[in-house]
Amino acid sequence: GESVGLHLPTLSVQEGDNSIINCAYSNSASDYFIWYKQESGKGPQFIIDIRSNMDKRQGQRVTVLLNKTVKHLSLQIAATQPGDSAVYFCAEITNYGQNFVFGPGTRLSVLP
């Protein structure tokens, strides 16, 4: 069935370094992907999205890359800051846009 997963459940990076969080998806028919950030005790918050007709999209300090050939999605955070510490989820939009399928999440810890 459909599934979205992450290669690394935890990631620790030094403050100021770049972070890369990976995600694999299995439904080749999916055409929309979103990265969410979830801080402790809060609901997920939208970071950035990308449609399948693109392979890269940039936001403020974040870049999402999409490789449809290998069904892989990544989130790059430049100059990681303590405030970036959170769990990051990728979401795959399926079922003609009516269903968000989330991966299990990657915890990002920023070391001083």
Partner 1 sequence: NAGVTQTPKFQVLKTGQSMTLQCAQDMNHNSMYWYRQDPGMGLRLIYYSASEGTTDKGEVPNGYNVSRLNKREFSLRLESAAPSQTSVYFCASSEQGWAEAFFGQGTRLTVV
Question: Interface residues with partner 1 (CB under 8 A)?
Answer: 9, 32, 34, 36, 41-46, 49, 89, 91, 93, 95-105
- Give min distance, CB of 111 to partner 1, in A: 23
98 close to 1: Cβ distance less than 8 angstroms: no
Q: Report d(CA 13, CA 86) in Å as an integer.
A: 12
Closest to partner 1 by CB, 77 vs 87, is: 87
Closest to partner 1 by CB, 43 vs 83, is: 43
Question: What is the SS3 assignment for 84?
Answer: helix
- Give min distance, CB of 112 to partner 1, in A: 26
101 close to 3: Cβ distance less than 8 angstroms: yes
